Amino acid sequence: MAPVNRELVKFFLCHRLAQRDFPTSPLRLQDTRDRTVVEKEKASPTAGNGLQDRDGVIPPRHGDDDVEAVKLALVESADEFELLFTQAFNDLATQLQITPDTAYSSFKSVMDEVFKDGVNWGRIVGLFVFGGVLCLECSEKDMSELVPRIADWMTMYLDENINEWIESEGGGWASFAQIFGQDAAAKARKARTSMKRWFLFGAVVLTGVLFLVCYVKRR
């Protein structure tokens, strides 16, 4: 597991829930559970084999300022993404008709469709935005117990399908902060154009997913 992925997912979902005045306690409770599990694992013979990080506890590390810069860039880019395409995401969440039994398959099918032709930062931002929309949808429909599970699914998808690209081709999360962060606003127009191109490409993919969902549901 890449610990920073877990940290970013929880931060982003808490931020989105708080924006709409929904409780973030499901994620906070999960943090408490994770710490309890880790303490038990530290006391077991298997401690030291890396399992203590598997439940999402973030070990102390240097570079916290870099992580904070990534968080700020993630919120800013997600806000811009949502301003452009929020209706499409809301329509998609409604069409999926999320229930406890269908939530995971719905999440994974959408993500597989979004990333089937490759990975870029715009699509990764789309993953966070869609996860946030799902959490809001679940909270509105009294299914807040799904919120920590969505956080798990987002983290798992990032770790298993996206992290290799982030580290190798994407230049790491630090590169994301440089491209999408506040300091990037003063950079050359080319960087801004690239950002919009990534967002637009993500929207085209998302629209295709929405039409696919509508088509399947009507059959």
Helix, coil or strand: residue 158: helix
What is the C-alpha separation between 215 and 203, in angstroms, rounded? 18
Residue 54 inside a domain? The answer is no
Residue 100 has pLDDT above 80, yes or no: yes
Where residue 193 sits, what CATH number does that domain have?
Answer: 1.10.437.10
* Domain coverage including residue 125: 3-49+60-218
pTM: 0.72
Q: Which residues contact 74 (CB under 8 A, 6 or more apart)?
A: 8, 11, 12, 125, 128, 176, 180
Residue identified by tokens 């967002």 is 199
Residue 119 inside a domain? The answer is yes
Residue 192 inside a domain? The answer is yes
pLDDT at 124: 92
What is the C-alpha separation between 72 and 75, in angstroms, rounded? 5
Residue 109 has pLDDT above 70, yes or no: yes
What is the C-alpha separation between 61 and 74, in angstroms, rounded? 20
What is the C-alpha separation between 5 and 156, in angstroms, rounded? 9
pLDDT band at 107 (very low <50, low <70, confident <90, very high): confident
Q: Stretch 47-74: mean pLDDT, rounded? A: 59
Rounded to 5°, angle at Cα 91 from 88 and 95: 135
pLDDT band at 64 (very low <50, low <70, confident <90, very high): low
pLDDT at 43: 45
Residue 89 inside a domain? The answer is yes
The residue ranking higher by pLDDT, 192 or 146, is 146
What is the C-alpha separation between 129 and 83, in angstroms, rounded? 11
Rounded to 5°, angle at Cα 136 from 130 and 138: 105
Residue 55 inside a domain? The answer is no
Residue 18 contacts residue 75 (beta carbons within 8 Å):
no
Structural domain count, the chain = 1
**Size (the chain), residues:** 219
Q: For residue 30, how far is the Cα from the chain centroid?
A: 17
The amino acid occupying position 148 is P
Residue 116 inside a domain? The answer is yes
Residue 38 has pLDDT above 70, yes or no: no
What is the C-alpha separation between 139 and 5, in angstroms, rounded? 23
